[in-house]
Structure 1
């Protein structure tokens, strides 16, 4: 079945729509003739700024509190926030990714968020991702994950296992109908642990174990053992067979899939519009298994956090919960950014788009990317080791074991 792509609405139209519906959120507007009685400063990236502009105006009209939007590069927000909050120069609110949370808590720069009864209005995985050691710190607005993008004209049926996918891809290559059996974008030095993680998880090698509360336990590194070593062995096999190629970047993989040269592309919703524009008859499938377990992708959640040093913490909480947390704004953020809403009602509405529904179904079986501070020391060794194994730079099991020891040592040192 062909799954059609959703067009992304223009930011200006989205913001206007949000403002229109937000009128229903209005309380009694402020009446201070001399101007706002308070200020909230929000660090936001350019993609979100257009939507929040009208939300900020509405909040000032309702609460007589000015919301100043400061546009920053998303990649700079976390570290700048950690640096500036202790000095008193930081913002009241930031937009950010859920896997920053452990680091933010560790540095004492983020405040708990009082969601109250509204917590149940959001997808469970979103609240789980925005919580740390049993406390919720963020207001989620989007959820995203990868899945298998399949060229239906080349592969009419969804593969249940990775071996089945590769067999189909190899047969298409032998028949001269495809150039690649399978595509996933990798880096020559860092591979891509994020994209390859579902295949690893299926073999029984998650990154961390869980504690009694079901949250990640950084003291329990579970990358090693039989599952991790089995995955290392598979990486070597796939590298030798050309299934995984570190010279095929994400951009190259996208171009080649959109040129009809492969039946499969392991990717996220951000690459679906280009496939549709290229005329690919595509479907979005669950990620095929490589072992006895489900191939669970990481789920990434984005949201907003309140500074631990905010002088207007109550107003910040109100702005997030009762304005950013509304269906109108969550929908507007989805339409301008393409990421599925975290608010359940907005997500259910967005599921009228079959692409969103398909990715959401895959993500429902996923797990939040670890948000513990220890995750910071995992990525580098993890990625470089994967690349070394794929490129046959040593015994795969020995390389994997050395990686686990290195990561454990760094975690132990704090």
Structure 2
């Protein structure tokens, strides 16, 4: 890995600044990057990839960065889940963005491929400023790569005009669904996407797991264990509350229905607050409790900015990632999109602590576990999604048999990589 990173960040990509020291920082002393000033490369210009819900915010940050450093920033829309794959194909050919956002579970694969530059010039400052979980999630093999921008989990949006109080249990959700669901009128009680991220509550809340040892041991697969089987059987029993095939429940479908006041409850994350705040009288609550009475366990994640190791402007790109992840800009991101800051001081700001919407996500965050950060997780998502769909769409499907086949498919996929 060190050899690959050295090759990617050598003469052509290394910091090229006047009067730079060994850290690529302007100035002649060795007191650390945070006490010195990085100077962007002459003629530098940057491209940033951002997801749809963050594009408008990022354009404002790019404009502010250009005003401060004289470096123009172009923002290109690219779905968050596609940025890592595009970096792998477009990075070496110099077609990828200079800065991108990755969820923490994707950095292992990117680092192994030599696609990311370490967060070296601002490492000490970043470690001191960000919450520890964000630092850990942005680190691979002991090296900090990310500039944390937000922490997140999902919770339950509920329309207060339809539900003055959020249901606390799945039994309450089911009871409401019986009186509210009207598919012919596009009226539904609750929706969530049938992918591993959003449907993990039916694993973790039943003492199931994906990998052993807190998702660090891929040799121990728990997806066909007793807990997961129980959770999936419970999921299967909920079919009457949402009379739709799993593949038809997409982000766009449930977002539009919630905006129109036809969907009463929408399991989604803080990134969607901006899509609802002007159209819906809503609240955010923790997910319904599991049948055993325990709080429902969700997946949580950390998103960070990363610098493409093939960038032509590694100093300017480092500066931008650091600039965009500052306390002030994380608070601006929160104001515009609802993103929960990873910056410790931003998280303590009264604007965050007193927010009745974000407080719902914070409460659910307490009952969350980080997504596995191992590269092996990439072999899990597609087979797991297929299992969710099979079990949901076919009420008579044998859960244990389905999960046994799912685990066999995942193991084969891991061995082929």
TM-score by length of 2: 0.75
Q: CA deviation at 1:124?
A: 3.2
SS in 2 for 1:149: strand
Using the alignment, how far apart are the partners of 1:149 and 1:295 within structure 2?
Answer: 15
Coordinate RMSD, CA, aligned: 3.5
SS in 2 for 1:320: helix
Indicate how the Cα distance of structure 1 residues 199 and 73 shifts in structure 2: closer, same or farther if over 3 A, else same.
Answer: same
Using the alignment, how far apart are the partners of 1:164 and 1:235 within structure 2?
Answer: 15
Using the alignment, how far apart are the partners of 2:310 and 2:96 within structure 1?
Answer: 8
The match for 1:264 is 265
Q: Deviations over 1:158-185 (max 9, x none)?
A: 4333233323443x449xxx99673114
The match for 1:399 is 402
Q: Deviations over 1:85-121 (max 9, x none)?
A: 4456755533333332122012121132232153242
**Which sections of structure 1, spanning at least 5 residues, go unmatched?**
1-24, 61-65
Q: CA deviation at 1:41?
A: 3.7
SS in 1 for 2:148: strand
Q: Deviations over 1:268-295 (max 9, x none)?
A: 2344455554453x32111122255532
Using the alignment, how far apart are the partners of 2:67 and 2:129 within structure 1?
Answer: 25
Contact 2:46 2:317 survives alignment (8 Å): no
1:184 aligned to 2:200?
A: no
Contact 2:387 2:403 survives alignment (8 Å): yes
The match for 2:244 is 245
For residues 134-213 of structure 1, what are the structure 2 equivalents within 5 Å?
134-170=142-178, 172-173=179-180, 182-186=189-193, 191-210=194-213
1:300 aligned to 2:301?
A: yes
Q: Deviations over 1:2-61 (max 9, x none)?
A: xxxxxxxxxxxxxxxxxxxxxxx998897xxxx95473644333442331232143134x
The match for 1:16 is none
After superposing the two structures, state which structure 1 stretch, 327-336 or 193-202, moved more: 327-336
The match for 1:339 is 339
For residues 96-115 of structure 1, what are the structure 2 equivalents within 5 Å?
96-114=102-120, 115=123
SS in 1 for 2:119: coil
Using the alignment, how far apart are the partners of 1:27 and 1:329 within structure 2?
Answer: 21
Using the alignment, how far apart are the partners of 2:370 and 2:412 within structure 1?
Answer: 24
Q: CA deviation at 1:139?
A: 0.4
Indicate how the Cα distance of structure 1 residues 199 and 120 shifts in structure 2: closer, same or farther if over 3 A, else same.
Answer: farther
Contact 1:169 1:262 survives alignment (8 Å): no
For residues 48-87 of structure 1, what are the structure 2 equivalents within 5 Å?
48-60=58-70, 66=71, 69=74, 71=76, 73-74=78-79, 77-86=83-92
Using the alignment, how far apart are the partners of 1:49 and 1:153 within structure 2?
Answer: 35
Aligned residues: 368
Q: Deviations over 1:206-252 (max 9, x none)?
A: 322346xxx6333333222001111221222122x244632444444
Using the alignment, how far apart are the partners of 2:243 and 2:221 within structure 1?
Answer: 26
The match for 2:20 is none
Contact 2:391 2:399 survives alignment (8 Å): yes
Indicate how the Cα distance of structure 1 residues 270 and 42 shifts in structure 2: closer, same or farther if over 3 A, else same.
Answer: closer
**Which sections of structure 2, spanning at least 5 residues, go unmatched?**
1-33
Using the alignment, how far apart are the partners of 2:79 and 2:92 within structure 1?
Answer: 20
Indicate how the Cα distance of structure 1 residues 373 and 361 shifts in structure 2: closer, same or farther if over 3 A, else same.
Answer: same
The match for 2:100 is 94
Indicate how the Cα distance of structure 1 residues 81 and 257 shifts in structure 2: closer, same or farther if over 3 A, else same.
Answer: closer
Q: Which has the higher contact order (CA 8 A, sep 6+)?
A: 1
SS in 1 for 2:218: strand
Contact 1:155 1:168 survives alignment (8 Å): no
Using the alignment, how far apart are the partners of 1:308 and 1:261 within structure 2?
Answer: 46
TM-score by length of 1: 0.75
Q: CA deviation at 1:147?
A: 0.6
Contact 1:192 1:383 survives alignment (8 Å): yes
For residues 338-377 of structure 1, what are the structure 2 equivalents within 5 Å?
338-349=338-349, 350-351=351-352, 352-377=354-379
